[in-house]
Amino acid sequence: MGVKDVVSQTEAIMKKTLDSVHHEFAEVRTGRAHPGLVEEMTVLYYGTPTPLKQMAAVSSPDASCLVIQPWDPSALADIEKAILSSKLGITPNNDGKIIRLSVPPLSEERRKEMAKVVKDMAEKGRVSLRTVRREGNDKVVKLKKDSVISEDDSFKGQEAIQKLTDKYIKDVDALLDKKTKDLMTL
């Protein structure tokens, strides 16, 4: 195992961390209805946690409404229960065939609260990236200690890992800016 292997492993983990932050942001309500609000929601379906997108079609006919049409109508109660226990704060309307979610516009106070939540999510993402950086650097230092690589290679590896960290933190910040802007616009 060389420096390039450590750097590529570190980058792969950082990419997963960025994807995780992106998914968390998608679940935060911005006042507009979009399928991403509920698609990743987990529903207990016959005792098995199942993502909603695997058991129903989710559409957004307009900016304030979501329609969830399960492929198995017997799953309506399970989906409804999952929505009620989620952090969405929306009460579902079930007509026996589909579930409608009316997404009310967010108040100014709620928008500011959600902006704080998103900021905390971004900070957790940055902390995770820094942890990945530390672990990558530790691996590079261990390779140097074990005399597998030279001191120059160790320095170059740590430098490459730092550049990756800077890049991914910048990506998290860009996601945060976009989400905050979405939250604050009506």
Strand 56-62 and strand 48-51: the pairing is: unpaired
DSSP 36: G
Per-residue pLDDT 10s for the chain (186 aa) are 788 899 999 999 999 999 999 888 877 766 677 787 787 788 888 888 888 888 888 888 887 888 989 998 888 888 888 888 877 778 888 888 888 988 777 778 878 888 888 899 999 999 999 999 999 999 999 999 998 888 899 999 999 999 999 999 999 999 999 988 888 876
Alpha helical stretches, state H, 49-92: 76-85
Gap between the Cα atoms of 58 and 98, Å rounded:
10
Gap between the Cα atoms of 40 and 130, Å rounded:
26
Given this model, what pLDDT does residue 161 score? 94
Domains of the chain: 3-26+107-184 (1.10.132.20), 35-102 (3.30.1360.40)
Element holding 20 (H helix, E strand): helix 3-26
Of residues 29, 95, 39, the one with CA closest to residue 64 = 29
